Amino acid sequence: MSNVNQLSKNKCFADSIGLENRGGRMKKVFIFSVIGYFVATMAVAYPWHLVLFHEKYVAMGAFTRETPIMPFGILAIILQGVVFAYFYPIFYKHKGGGNPIIRGLQFSLFMGVNVWTVMVFATAAKFKIEPVFDFILYGTAFQIIQFVLVGVVIGWLNRESSTPASAS
């Protein structure tokens, strides 16, 4: 049977990765993980980029719009949250369990490296941002804070579905 046929016969994504859907718990954890990612990211991103260091980013040339297109930023964060919520259970299961907060941090920092390269290095490569070292420093600091917070949130939200006691 092809993988596509097998996946189409499964009741939900959780089943397709070998996790049982315990009364809709996995779906709830997925939705809360997306929301948690969004809230954790916005709690850092909004004050960092639009309040605390807004003028610094403008002076460096990193922000060239007078008014940011907030729906695009919100969509990006939601899509990132979907990716994190989708892949965390696979990562956790593959890593063999353990403390869900530590696993959440490991996963978030692992995934965060990809986001960091795009947000910092690719942006610096494409736009005239000066001094580029300052942009890399501010961007790196932001990404570390963001993904440590996100890791704790994702790990905590997945704690019950990750413990051996809930596997029974």
**Domain residue spans of the chain:** 24-167
- Cα–Cα distance for residue pair 5/19, rounded to 1 Å: 18
Q: Name the nearest CA neighbour of 30 among 83, 75, 73, 76.
A: 83
Please say if the pLDDT value at position 106 is more than 70.
yes
- Segment 48-89, tens digit of pLDDT: 999 999 999 999 999 988 888 999 999 999 999 999 999 998
* Distance in Å from the first CA to the final CA of the chain: 29
| Average pLDDT value for the chain | 84
- Cα–Cα distance for residue pair 21/6, rounded to 1 Å: 17
Token output for 119: 């947000």
The verdict on pTM exceeding 0.75 is yes
- DSSP assignment of 44-68 equals HHHHIIIIISHHHHHHHTS---SS-
Q: Is the peptide bond before 164 cis (omega within 30 degrees of 0)?
A: no
For tokens 């006691």, the residue is 165
- Cα–Cα distance for residue pair 41/38, rounded to 1 Å: 5
Confidence of residue 17 (pLDDT cuts 50, 70, 90): very low
| Residue 100, pLDDT score | 87
96 DSSP 8-state letter: T
- Segment 107-133, tens digit of pLDDT: 999 999 999 999 999 999 999 999 999
